[in-house]
Chains A and B, each alone.
Chain A
Amino acid sequence: MGVFYFVAFLSIFFALMTIFTKNPVHSVLYLVITFFTFTVHYILLNAQFLAVVNFIVYMGAIMVLFLFVLMLLNLNKDTEPMKSVLVKVMGAIAGMCLLATFLGAFRALDSQSELVTGHTEVGLVKNLGKVLFNEFLLPFELSSILLLTAMVGAILLAKKETKEA
């Protein structure tokens, strides 16, 4: 349990650093480290597949794209957009809603469950694959179609712009 508290502390610390740091590139880098600590959490829960997919997709792909954009934009104080009060209020409300959801989830948590203690085999590739392709086949296929739609949409948007230019 000691390891968990240490990693949890790191996650929260780096998540806070993501918000509080001024430089956007540093912010992304802190976010990368936060994701890395999530990977460690998954490994502690013996969810190997989830851990490595989190690592590849979030750290390896999405965050690299974030970095790409931020490095090219060259953001600084002068170009920072003005944030209206409305956006701040909306952010605060959304944050509170998330907190309430988490608290609700936390109340329903059974800390003795083997999913929490990590003494489970369900996160291994073999078991996860069996569950995904038997019990959850329809949702799995539907989500893949959703992703495909998003991909086609993105390509369409990119194409349209080049024609006009």
Chain B
Amino acid sequence: MEVAFILEKLILVVIVFVITLVIAMYSTLAERKVAGFMQDRYGPNRAGIGGILQPLCDGGKFFFKEEIIPAGAHKVLFVLGPVLAIVTACISSAIIPWGQSLNINGREISLQVADVNIGVLYIFGVIALGVYGIMLGGWASNNKFSLLGAIRAASQSISYEIAMGLALISLLMVTGTLQLGDIVRQQSGFVNWNIWVQPLGFLIFMTCAFAECNRVPFDLPECETELVGGYHTEYSSMKLGLYMFSEYINMFVSSALMASLYFGGYNFPFMDQLDLSQNWITIIGVIVFFLKIFGFIFFFMWVRWTLPRFRYDQLMHLGWKILIPLAITNIVLTGVITLIKDSYLQ
């Protein structure tokens, strides 16, 4: 049993890893296509049919660019920065339940790599670790613009982590478990989705997710039109590519998280009335889950071409003086409503 179990998980890990990377890769193309659509132009359409080979060309170009490590930079940390950024982006997908379990020859195969007891907290740990990639990269560059950019990025991500955590606490008060698998199982069908009971929490969580991914309107760490380049000013070649890439992976993972925490994950309406075998339900569930994820990724891009960027003081004001009090209000409200429901309506 042990060998089969390890093999099964290993295959799942590889599949999840490959899917994550491929989706992140094609998000870069999708972003430019969406930008083209919004601005009434074509977007990249030269490499392959409709630009389908564009991400490969970009990757190849990154590899062949000259690799520059600035004089006075701390070599080890300079390389470690982007590595840490991409590793933390990748490992956060470990606990996302991609679907129910498949039944192959009487063997239940769960489509979740690890349903750990502390699921949601694990995500927080990983997000917290993500800050190091940025800070180390910025500091090791031995450049004051990089350092300032890194500090800017890190303080943004620390500030929004708090509101994100508080928003999640009210969700946990409703679900009563930290296990992501359980949270998704509770939301079967359509009316049980957590978005119906936690709309405010979702709004806060999503805003913070935008900030954590450094996406517009929170893209101050990069801010390509104003800054020299933020924390990755001194980076070139594939190391810059890794930073960029980790951003897209983060976007994918946070989309998956939002879909599974608030929008029912792999659950879809009328899933119990369809009268299909479990394997088919699982397969449809996985497809539905990915459709939800793509929806969120599209939303990320849509917002990028709709909203202007915040100023830094506005960013801090929104994080500390609006989102955090709002999240605390949400916790109190959730507590009161839960109490009333438990003591009077049953």
Residues of A whose CB lies within 8 Å of any CB of B are 25, 29, 32, 48-49, 51-53, 55-56, 59-61, 64, 67-68, 71-72, 124-125
* Bound CA–CA A78/B180 (angstroms): 52
A55-B151 in contact given A49-B118, A64-B135 (Cβ < 8 Å): no
For residue A32, give the distance in angstroms from its CB to the closest CB of chain B: 7
Residue B50 lies at the interface, judged by CB distance under 8 Å to chain A = no
Contact partner of B122 (CB less than 8 A), chosen from A52, A59, A64, A71, is A52
Contact partner of B118 (CB less than 8 A), chosen from A48, A60, A67, is A48
Please state if A60 and B117 are interface contacts (CB–CB under 8 Å).
Answer: no
* Bound CA–CA A25/B78 (angstroms): 13
Please state if B132 and A64 are interface contacts (CB–CB under 8 Å).
Answer: yes
Instruction: Note all chain A residues with C-beta closer than 8 A to B77.
Output: 29
Please state if B128 and A60 are interface contacts (CB–CB under 8 Å).
Answer: yes
For residue B159, give the distance in angstroms from its CB to the closest CB of chain A: 12
Interface residues of B in 115-156 (CB under 8 A from A): 116-118, 121-122, 124-125, 127-129, 131-132, 135-136, 139, 147, 150-151, 154-155
* Bound CA–CA A124/B77 (angstroms): 35
* Bound CA–CA A53/B155 (angstroms): 20
A52-B121 in contact given A59-B128, A64-B131 (Cβ < 8 Å): yes
Residue B261 lies at the interface, judged by CB distance under 8 Å to chain A = no
For residue A1, give the distance in angstroms from its CB to the closest CB of chain B: 21
- State how many residues of chain B have any CB contact under 8 Å with chain A: 24
* Bound CA–CA A129/B158 (angstroms): 26
Please state if A48 and B116 are interface contacts (CB–CB under 8 Å).
Answer: yes
Please state if B132 and A25 are interface contacts (CB–CB under 8 Å).
Answer: no
Residues of B whose CB lies within 8 Å of any CB of A are 77, 116-118, 121-122, 124-125, 127-129, 131-132, 135-136, 139, 147, 150-151, 154-155, 158, 161, 178
In the complex formed, the residue of A with least CB distance to B157 is A64
Please state if B151 and A72 are interface contacts (CB–CB under 8 Å).
Answer: yes
Instruction: Note all chain A residues with C-beta closer than 8 A to B125.
Output: 52, 55-56, 59-60
For residue B73, give the distance in angstroms from its CB to the closest CB of chain A: 13
Instruction: Note all chain B residues with C-beta closer than 8 A to A68.
Output: 135, 151, 154-155
A71-B147 in contact given A59-B129, A64-B132, A64-B158 (Cβ < 8 Å): yes
List 29 interface pairs A-B (beta carbons < 8 Å), by A numbering. Answer: A32-B132, A48-B116, A48-B117, A52-B118, A52-B121, A52-B122, A53-B121, A55-B125, A55-B128, A56-B121, A56-B124, A59-B128, A59-B129, A60-B124, A60-B128, A60-B129, A60-B161, A61-B128, A61-B158, A64-B131, A64-B135, A67-B139, A68-B151, A71-B139, A71-B147, A71-B151, A72-B147, A72-B151, A124-B117
Instruction: Note all chain A residues with C-beta closer than 8 A to B158.
Output: 61, 64
For residue B106, give the distance in angstroms from its CB to the closest CB of chain A: 31
Given A60-B128, A125-B118, 19 additional A-B pairs, CB 8 A: A29-B136, A48-B116, A48-B118, A52-B118, A56-B128, A59-B125, A60-B124, A60-B125, A60-B127, A60-B129, A60-B131, A61-B128, A61-B158, A64-B132, A67-B139, A71-B139, A71-B147, A72-B151, A124-B117
For residue A96, give the distance in angstroms from its CB to the closest CB of chain B: 34
Please state if B132 and A71 are interface contacts (CB–CB under 8 Å).
Answer: no
Instruction: Note all chain B residues with C-beta closer than 8 A to A124.
Output: 117
Instruction: Note all chain A residues with C-beta closer than 8 A to B122.
Output: 52
For residue B150, give the distance in angstroms from its CB to the closest CB of chain A: 8
Instruction: Note all chain B residues with C-beta closer than 8 A to A32.
Output: 132
Instruction: Note all chain B residues with C-beta closer than 8 A to A64.
Output: 128, 131-132, 135, 154, 158
